[in-house]
Amino acid sequence: MATATVKAPTRQRLIDVAVRLFTQHSFAGTSLQMIANELGITKAAVYHYFRTREELLLAVVEPVLDQLRTIVETAEAQRTRTARAENVLTGFIDIAVRHRGLIFVLASDPGVIDMLRAQQNYGDLINRQLKLLADVDPGPAGPISAAVVLAGVAGAVGPALVDVDENVLRQQLLDVSRRALGLRAPRRPAGTDAK
Amino acid sequence: MATATVKAPTRQRLIDVAVRLFTQHSFAGTSLQMIANELGITKAAVYHYFRTREELLLAVVEPVLDQLRTIVETAEAQRTRTARAENVLTGFIDIAVRHRGLIFVLASDPGVIDMLRAQQNYGDLINRQLKLLADVDPGPAGPISAAVVLAGVAGAVGPALVDVDENVLRQQLLDVSRRALGLRAPRRPAGTDAK
């Protein structure tokens, strides 16, 4: 519910700094004052764009959640279980690699998870994503493998592997996730329905 | 460096409540006052055991880190790469399942990770654990698969799969991690050196 409609470089800089500080200090451990200090501006200048830390967090996550929603919906429209899983996996890993620090925060910070759960449809979106991955294996292994892959990808794009090249990281994450889920690499690129 | 040496049921209850509140609100979002309120005692009563939130966190994690250290050292003493990886994996998953909420907090909460990094040998211990898993694959896949498995196991023992039976969770986590790392299940139980 970001009420700020003004678009300015400052707004994007606030978002970038917020992601970095949330990663370093957690959402609960980051104040708007800390964000203002980091940019060398006053807290009043921050208020011009975001009145609360929560409003800033929403501005940070909304575009990423929109991308995730598109990926989940596209995957759900595929005809086979494996095509659905391959689709959502490829899309999620791509988002995770492009928004490294942010995905780590979204997946692991309890303060952020709490706030997102209060958002309409967020929990539903994550559950649909988990189900698409879990359905590869209809036994008890399915949901557990899906949870390991989602948490594992989100954790691996955190601070630890920050020096790994983006393309190498994307390909390796895809390979390890496919092995974990028992998915074979598709002959045709993901996005087509390789029945 | 927990200075409190008094052992009493209250001390353990403080630790248990702390783990639960850290999981719900993050370390930065949990105060000693919140912990006192949860137990229906005064903050002064908390101070009798722990003077700071950091001291309480150390009391929580020290026994778990001691167990992890033993596992890493035992694994490092094995003769083959696969035996070393199998050993550390089995031991870590066992700790993760027995201390579900805590391992999730240790692996994901930025405030906790910061504090642990400042502890002597902690970063070293995690790096040794990652290396034991990464060495299964000497290519670029090794470190990335290791990171996915550690983060994935730690994430999967968080709130999402809280209803899964402990033995099912342990076995499935072991299976998915072996697939992810490219480790075959050993014929002899882990802990022996199945060359």
Q: What is the pLDDT of residues B16-43, one digit of tens each?
A: 899 889 888 888 889 999 999 999 999 9
Contact B108 A111 (CB under 8 A): no
Q: Of A81-90, B20-29, B159-168, which one has max mean pLDDT? A: A81-90
Residue B35: Cβ-neighbour burial (10 angstroms; 0-12, 13-18, 19+) = buried
Q: Model ipTM?
A: 0.81
The 3-class SS string of chain A reads: CCCCCCCCHHHHHHHHHHHHHHHHHCCCCCCHHHHHHHHCCCHHHHHHHCCCHHHHHHHHHHHHHHHHHHHHHHHHCCCCHHHHHHHHHHHHHHHHHHCHHHHHHHHHCHHHHHHHHCCCCHHHHHHHHHHHHHCCCCCCHHHHHHHHHHHHHHHHCCHHHCCCCHHHHHHHHHHHHHHHHCCCCCCCCECECCC
pTM equals 0.82
pLDDT digit string (tens) for B97-126? 988 878 888 877 777 877 887 776 788 888
Q: In Å, how far is B79's CA from the nearest CA of chain A?
A: 25
What six digits make up the tokens of B66? 């001691």
Contact A156 B155 (CB under 8 A): no
pLDDT digit string (tens) for A138-195? 988 999 999 999 999 998 887 778 788 999 999 999 999 999 999 987 775 555 444 4
Contact B111 A145 (CB under 8 A): no
Residue to test with chain B: of A22, A137, A144, most B Cβ within 10 A: A144
Contact A147 B155 (CB under 8 A): yes
Residues of A in contact with B179 (CB under 8 A): 179-180, 182
Residue of B nearest to A182 (CA): B179
Residues of B in contact with A154 (CB under 8 A): 151, 155
C-alpha–C-alpha distance, residues B58 and B62, integer Å: 6
Residue of B nearest to A22 (CA): B110
Residues of A in contact with B145 (CB under 8 A): 172, 176
Contact B24 A164 (CB under 8 A): no
Residues of A in contact with B105 (CB under 8 A): 110
Q: In Å, how far is B98's CA from the nearest CA of chain A?
A: 16
User: Which of A86, A100, A25, A172 lies closest to B137 in space, CA to CA?
Assistant: A172
Check whether B9 has a pLDDT greater than 90: no
Residues of A in contact with B133 (CB under 8 A): none
Check whether B5 has a pLDDT greater than 90: no
Counted across chains A and B, CB pairs separated by less than 8 A come out at 157
